[in-house]
């Protein structure tokens, strides 16, 4: 790993909570010096997703080989034969750019990163207004079948129970308030004073 003592910012939440919107906002704040950790996945691209910018799309076989070769900082089989993970080389790549790493990652992966780098990681859980609101947001996306949406909603209940294990919880009832709160949390953890 690089000499740069970069920080790690983990943003986790059930699908549809707004974590991706929050992460994109933080990335647009130059003073925070953040770079996005691109996760690897064995699933196919959805919608406009691009390999190498949204995810590293790799085959199931290749993913399993990388697990065997200990190439992941963390990984998880989120749904059957649907793996997600953070390659060690991705964090090294960002730190070599002298930037802090920001993750938009599921709760299990987020907590694993926190465990590996406890002093350097701020783990933030983004809480949706309600499970019903999540369902509405997921349906509005029009990217998945009702079965997939129901799977995500079932998973959301389990994920919501992990919120107390995170350093901070942002309640995303009002997006502007959530964005401001996220910015303050990151600035304080880096040590930026206005």
pLDDT digits (tens, 9 = 90+) for 95-146: 999 999 999 988 989 999 999 999 999 999 999 887 788 788 778 877 778 8
pLDDT of residue 154: 81
Question: Does the structure show a pLDDT above 60 at 1?
Answer: no
pLDDT of residue 51: 96
Question: Does the structure show a pLDDT above 70 at 73?
Answer: yes
> Comparing C-alpha atoms, which of 164, 75, 183 is closest to residue 125?
164
pLDDT of residue 2: 46
pLDDT band per the 50, 70, 90 thresholds, residue 72: very high
Residue-range domain boundaries for the chain:
8-190
Q: Is 106 left (phi over 0), alpha (psi -120 to 50) or beta?
A: beta
Q: Under a CB-based contact definition with an 8 Å cutoff, are residues 132 and 25 in contact?
A: no
Rg (CA), the chain: 16
Higher pLDDT, residue 136 or 58: 58
Q: Under a CB-based contact definition with an 8 Å cutoff, are residues 19 and 176 in contact?
A: no
For the stretch 144-155, pLDDT in tens is 788 888 887 888
pLDDT of residue 194: 59
Question: Does the structure show a pLDDT above 60 at 184?
Answer: yes
- In the CATH scheme, what architecture does the domain 8-190 have? 3-Layer(aba) Sandwich (3.40)
State percent of the chain over pLDDT 90: 66
The count of other CB atoms within 10 Å of the CB of residue 89 is 14
DSSP-H helix ranges across 10-87: 19-27, 60-68
The C-alpha atoms of residue 34 and residue 54 are separated, in whole angstroms, by: 16
pTM of the model as a whole: 0.86
Question: Does the structure show a pLDDT above 80 at 4?
Answer: no
């Amino acid at each position: 790993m690089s000499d740069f003592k970069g920080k790690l910012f983990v943003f986790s939440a059930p699908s549809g909570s707004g974590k991706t919107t929050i992460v994109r906002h933080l990335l647009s704040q130059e003073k925070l010096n953040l770079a996005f950790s691109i996760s690897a996945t064995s699933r196919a691209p959805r919608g406009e997703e691009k390999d190498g910018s949204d995810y590293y799309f790799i085959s199931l076989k290749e993913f399993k080989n990388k697990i065997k070769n200990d190439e992941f900082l963390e990984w998880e089989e989120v749904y059957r034969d649907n793996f997600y993970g953070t390659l060690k080389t991705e964090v090294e790549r960002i730190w070599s750019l002298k930037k802090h790493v920001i993750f938009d990652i599921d709760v299990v992966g987020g907590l694993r990163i926190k465990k590996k780098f406890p002093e350097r990681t701020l783990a933030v859980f983004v809480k949706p207004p309600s499970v019903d609101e999540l369902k509405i947001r997921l349906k509005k996306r029009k990217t998945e079948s009702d079965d997939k949406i129901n799977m995500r909603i079932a998973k959301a209940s389990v994920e919501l129970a992990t919120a107390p294990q995170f350093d901070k919880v942002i309640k995303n009832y009002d997006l502007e308030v959530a964005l401001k709160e996220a910015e303050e949390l990151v600035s304080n953890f880096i040590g930026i004073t206005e």
